[in-house]
Amino acid sequence: MSAELAIRGAVIEALRGDMALMDRLNGLFDGAPVRASAPYAVVGECLGAEWGAKDVDGRELRLTISLHDAGPTPGRLTPIMARIDPVLRAALAPADGWRIVTARLLRSRVARSGAEAWQAVVDYRLRVVRE
């Protein structure tokens, strides 16, 4: 299995396994949902690039997670965003032959996505190696 698919699946499983996170969400989706009620999270695109050495098969992945909420302020998104980082950093167990060696937040942003809606997006760089 490709690193992108294996690690993406492992990240989704780790996020769904975090009760502190899931208690704040109405759902966590693999890709854009057809129908969802706020607040919810979406694991979006996962871009991969070569990252390895002579004897190490590695990939550098860029993974996007977006959070969606309705309301006049983005206040409910703050504690949800705070849970993502520790979950990703703890997801070091091998997944289909790939293991995360580093997980680093690249950037995050919060913006309106409608008259009464907010979206927070976090982009991570995950470096993974084949076990």
53 vs 1: which has the higher pLDDT:
53
Taking the model in full, what pTM does it have? 0.91
DSSP 111: E
Classify residue 91 as exposed, middle or buried by CB count within 10 Å of its CB (0-12, 13-18, 19+).
Answer: buried
Tell me what pLDDT residue 120 has. 96
- Edge to edge, what strands does the sheet with 40-50 contain? 28-30, 40-50, 58-70, 117-130, 98-114
What confidence tens digit (pLDDT) does each residue in 45-59 have?
999 999 878 888 999
What confidence tens digit (pLDDT) does each residue in 74-111 have?
999 999 999 999 998 887 677 788 988 889 999 999 99
61 touches 46 (CB < 8 A)? yes
